[in-house]
Structure 1
């Protein structure tokens, strides 16, 4: 079998925005039919033109093929977040794929459903989004009318500390931090420190950054699910938008 889609993403360590499916995705020949059952979700898309590599007794689609397959079927934000994960240059062993590689597969594949959707997602992708929530927030702030931000802005503070901002708006000199709660509780980030010590260190870091920029905002990662909240926080902190505040129920990201 050819392991593909979400299952292949799990194999490669490509995170997805939203919930993971309960079934394991496999791609099969078109003539085989796409009926699913048991633990498998079968995609009768054909395997001849799919880029894949050995995976035990089976095969798995390459990272580029995997995110392209996902981008063809997922909504815009989820599609971009999957591509960003493959392109992320901050991975310990480097990115899993390049935009050129994904584009090459897209253009060489025979006519397939979802090509326009995938091209749009690829055009919006970036190499510096460290996680899917950063991608979500980046796309949201632009859709809300705020300036296009730079990712992972690097500064060396007067204390000598080197810091990176999740999103930075250069024209406004505005710094945006996007925090998940794991930052204060996960051993990966606390590194033996108590949550209180992490909070104090983060507050000292924030105070230093605030003295170096004109504007500073902090949002939780899950705030991206609430466009009005993001709009209110950023405008209250002095960042200007070219659009009015979204109304409740508005579909900001399509």
Structure 2
């Protein structure tokens, strides 16, 4: 979907009828107010993704802010198109290169960036922290799972772990935040295929299960079967995370209807189970990942050992 168009009501607009029309449309619920004088069509807003909505907020807020501010943290995640768990905040997060401490205003949250190299780049014409700086910002401030999702995606884009560790080393956060950020960076793996796989891998580790091989490829006499999400070679167990996206997203169905996708997945599973090294295959879904008992039962039932 194209980026949301931000509609403006400018107090200096010589056409007062334009201002009145937009204000009237807001009263009728036909447009959504982002900030004073900045709107998007309700129909487009409701159809947009979380990322598209937050990028619209950035474009609404930034023209009113100082030119020195750089989009950062969660807002940089949205601008770079990195995956994110849950919803984005209603405020836009920026880093101020001359401030030593943070500041919160309506629709704008500032982080202090004095003395730091923000490695500023441009996305959609807007100033934003680099991928490396964004990753470390998120690792220092966001929940651990959210940080892992972002860091996995960064490494999949080619960001090196050492670059993230070097950037972290240049910061002076509280010791606890530094330790947590380092753990997230060291845990991250660019082979993760989706945010769901990232969270699933994290939950498995937290529950004490062995570390899997990610994206292991399998083949048989008929040729390539494909990659699996998690492979435990010592136990002969394949674990697949099923977020159901492949059934719902037409782009991922490759012209097939959902029923055809289900049949193809069943045939693929049959071929995987027939491989000599594979003892069993188990599927987990978001509901399992969000419930430690359910996930633990699914994995131990498949024969995976759980550490004490």
Q: TM-score range by the shorter chain?
A: 0.7 to 0.9
C-alpha separation between the residues in 2 aligned to 1:9 and 1:168? 30
Could you tell me which of 214, 238, 245 is aligned with 2:303? 238
Max Rg structure: 2
Is 53-62 or 113-122 further displaced after alignment? Answer: 53-62
**Equivalent residues in 2 for 1:197-216 (5 A)?**
197-212=260-275, 213-216=278-281
C-alpha separation between the residues in 2 aligned to 1:31 and 1:3? 14
C-alpha separation between the residues in 2 aligned to 1:35 and 1:107? 24
| 1:216, distance to aligned residue in structure 2 (A) | 0.9
Contact 2:225–2:268 under 8 Å retained in 1: no
Tell me the equivalent position of 1:36. 104
**Equivalent residues in 2 for 1:107-122 (5 A)?**
107-109=169-171, 111-113=172-174, 114-122=177-185
**Equivalent residues in 2 for 1:1-254 (5 A)?**
1-29=69-97, 31=99, 34-46=102-114, 48-55=116-123, 58-88=126-156, 95-109=157-171, 111-113=172-174, 114-212=177-275, 213-243=278-308
Is 43-52 or 97-106 further displaced after alignment? Answer: 43-52
C-alpha separation between the residues in 2 aligned to 1:236 and 1:55? 47
- Deviation sequence 1:27-62 (CA, Å, 0-9, x none): 114547633233322212336432222456652100
Where structure 1 has 5 or more consecutive residues not aligned to the other structure, the ranges are 89-94, 244-254
| 1:180, distance to aligned residue in structure 2 (A) | 0.9
TM-score (norm 2): 0.71
The number of residue pairs the alignment matches comes to 236
Give every structure 1 segment of 4 or more consecutive aligned residues whose post-TM-superposition deviation is greater than 6 Å. Answer: none
C-alpha separation between the residues in 1 aligned to 2:203 and 2:100? 40
Q: CA 1:48–1:141 in structure 2 vs 1: closer, same or farther (change >3 Å)?
A: closer
Contact 2:77–2:83 under 8 Å retained in 1: yes
Is 37-46 or 8-17 further displaced after alignment? Answer: 37-46
C-alpha separation between the residues in 1 aligned to 2:115 and 2:106? 22
Where structure 2 has 5 or more consecutive residues not aligned to the other structure, the ranges are 1-68
C-alpha separation between the residues in 1 aligned to 2:155 and 2:206? 22
Is 175-184 or 25-34 further displaced after alignment? Answer: 25-34
C-alpha separation between the residues in 1 aligned to 2:245 and 2:125? 37
| 1:222, distance to aligned residue in structure 2 (A) | 4.2
TM-score (norm 1): 0.86
C-alpha separation between the residues in 1 aligned to 2:183 and 2:101? 29
CA RMSD, 1 decimal = 1.9
SS in 1 for 2:74: helix
Q: Which has the higher contact order (CA 8 A, sep 6+)?
A: 1
Contact 1:154–1:162 under 8 Å retained in 2: yes
| 1:211, distance to aligned residue in structure 2 (A) | 1.2
SS in 1 for 2:223: coil
C-alpha separation between the residues in 2 aligned to 1:220 and 1:123? 25
Q: CA 1:56–1:208 in structure 2 vs 1: closer, same or farther (change >3 Å)?
A: closer
